Amino acid sequence: MTLLIIAELLALGLVAGFLAGLLGIGGGMLLVPFLTIILSQLGVAAGLAVKMAIATSMATILFTSLSSVRAHHAHGAVRWPLVRGMAPGIVAGGLAAGAGVFALVKGQALALVFSLFVGFSATQMLLDRRPTPSRQMPGLAGQAAVGGGIGFLSGLVGAGGGFISVPFMAWCNVPIHQAVATSAALGFPIALANTAGYIIGGWGYAGTPPGSFGFLYLPALVVIASASMLMAPRGARTAHAMNVRQLKRVFAVLLFGLAAYMGSKGLGWV
C-alpha cells in the first residue's frame, strides 16, 4: 500500500469509529463504499472488490463494537437481556451468510442488496413514525428469529446490523439511545460469526491481493481498526448529548447517501 492509501484508511477509520459510537451501526455502511474504491485502486476486480470490502468492513466491527459498547454501558444504555436474546440467532444467520451464500452471490448483486436495505432503513428513520404504544419487543423465540435475520442480512452487506436493529427496536418502543447502545453491543456477535464465515468461504479464492485472509484484506483491517477504536467512545459520548430527533436525522441522511452510492455501483453506473 502507498502512503496515500494508508492515510485514506486512517481517515476512514477515524470517521467510521466515531459514527459507530454515535449511531450504533458498526461503521460498516460507511466503510464498504470507500473500501470498494480503495481495493479497486489496488487492481482488484470490481465484483471481488465489493466482496472484500464487505468482509474487511465486517471484521473491523469486532474492534469498534468493543470500544463503542464500553462507553454506552457506562451510560447504562445497553439492554443486555435483548443482546442475550438475539445473539444466538445472529450467530446462526451470520455463519449461514458468511460461509455459504456470500461466496456464491455476485458482487454487483450484493451492492444492490446493500442499497435497498439501507435505503429502507433510512426512510423508516426519516419518517419518524411513532410506534403503537403497546408494542414491545418479542419474546426469546421471536428475538432469536429477528437476530437470525439481522445476522444473515448483515453478512450479505458487511454492516454491523444497526441499519435493521435500531429501527426495529425503535419500532418496538425501545428508546432510541438504548436502541443505538444495544445495537452497538450486538455488533460483536454479528462480526464474529460473519468474519469466520468470510474466512471459510473465501479461502483459496482466485484473484485476492497479497495480504488477504479469505475475503479479508488484512492490511486495511489493521489500519482502520486501530484508528476506529480511538474514536468510537467519542461518538458514543456525543450520542448521549444529542436529542432523539437529531440522532434519527443524522442516521437517515448518512444511510441515504450510502444507499445511493452502492446502488449506482450495483447498476454499473460508477
Say what the pLDDT of residue 81 is.
92
What pLDDT does residue 85 have? 92
* pLDDT score recorded for residue 164: 76
Residue-by-residue DSSP string for 173-234: T--HHHHHHHHHHHHHHHHHHHHHHHHHHHTT-TTPPTTEETTEEHHHHHHHHHHHHHHHHH
Domain chopping of the chain, boundaries: 3-267
pLDDT along the chain (270 residues), means of 10: 84 80 64 84 84 86 78 83 91 77 69 75 69 77 89 73 77 84 84 83 81 88 86 74 69 76 68
Contact in structure between 4 and 131 (CB atoms under 8 Å): no
| pLDDT recorded at residue 254 | 73
Q: For residues 95 and 195, what is the distance between their CA atoms, to the nearest angstrom? A: 8
Structure-block grid coordinates of residue 185? 453491543
Q: What is the pLDDT of residue 133?
A: 66
The per-residue pLDDT for 80 is 93
